[in-house]
Homo-oligomer: A and B are copies of this chain.
Amino acid sequence: MSTLTLINGQPASTISIADRGFAYGQGVFETIQVRCGRRLLWDAHLARLLDGCGRLAIPTDGVAEQLERDWSSLAVARDGVLKLTVTRGAGGRGYAVTEAMAPSRILRFTPAPVSTLQQGEPDSVRLRWCSTRLARQPLLAGIKHLNRLEQVLARAEWQDPAIREGLVCDTDGWVVEGTMSNLFFVRDGRLCTPDLSYCGVSGIIRNWILQAASAADVVCEVGHYRPPQVEQAAEIFICNSLIDILPVGRLGARSYPVGAVTRLMQQLLQQEYQLC
Interface string of A131-153 (1 = CB under 8 A from B): 01101110110000111111111
- Determine if A23 and B146 form an interchain contact, defined as CB atoms under 8 angstroms apart: yes
**Number of copies of this protein chain within its complex:** 2
With an 8 A cutoff between CB atoms, is A156 at the interface?
Answer: yes
**How far is B177's CA from A182's CA once the two chains are assembled, in angstroms?**
34
B147–A85 CB distance below 8 A: no
- In the assembled complex, A118 has its CB within 8 A of some CB on chain B: no
- A150 x B137 contact (CB < 8 A): yes
**Number of chain A residues whose Cβ lies closer than 8 Å to a Cβ of chain B:** 51
Q: A135-B135, A140-B149 are in contact. Are A179 and B95 (CB under 8 A)?
A: yes
Contact with A180, one of B5, B94, B155 (Cβ below 8 angstroms): B94
Complex: A135 Cα to B139 Cα, angstroms:
9
**Does B17 contact A108, Cβ atoms closer than 8 Å?**
yes
Beyond A13-B18, A20-B152, A57-B156, list 9 extra A-B contacts (CB 8 Å).
Answer: A24-B147, A24-B148, A57-B153, A95-B156, A95-B179, A95-B180, A133-B139, A135-B140, A147-B148
